[in-house]
């Protein structure tokens, strides 16, 4: 298994123009496309923990080696 980064664009429920990206990092044994198709339960869990936000789009990509894991809101999703 290797790490994959589920990048979710979320917008504030009360201010839909206020959007940001959240990175959910987890072990994955498939392609980025398969990850994106399997993402809704992970996104639902994050939204359940952050009810002031709503997910508007997402993608999966392999982490970039220069990224600082754990620094900018990166959270393990399982």
Q: Where are the domains of the chain?
A: 2-62
How are strands ordered across the β-sheet holding 75-76? 53-61, 2-12, 19-28, 75-76
Distance CA 31, CA 21 (A): 21
pLDDT of residue 1: 79
Q: What is the chain's pLDDT, residue by residue, as a tens digit (78 residues)?
A: 799 999 999 999 999 999 999 999 989 999 999 999 999 999 999 999 999 999 999 999 998 766 554 444 444 444
3-state SS class at 25:
strand
pLDDT of residue 71: 41
């Amino acid at each position: 298994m290797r790490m994959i980064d589920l990048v979710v664009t979320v917008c504030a429920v009360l201010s839909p123009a206020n959007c940001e990206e959240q990175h959910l990092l987890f072990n994955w044994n498939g392609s980025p496309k398969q990850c994106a198709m399997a993402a809704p339960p992970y996104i639902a869990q994050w939204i359940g923990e952050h009810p002031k936000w709503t997910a508007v789009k997402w993608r999966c990509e392999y982490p970039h080696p220069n990224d600082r894991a754990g620094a900018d809101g990166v959270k393990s999703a399982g």
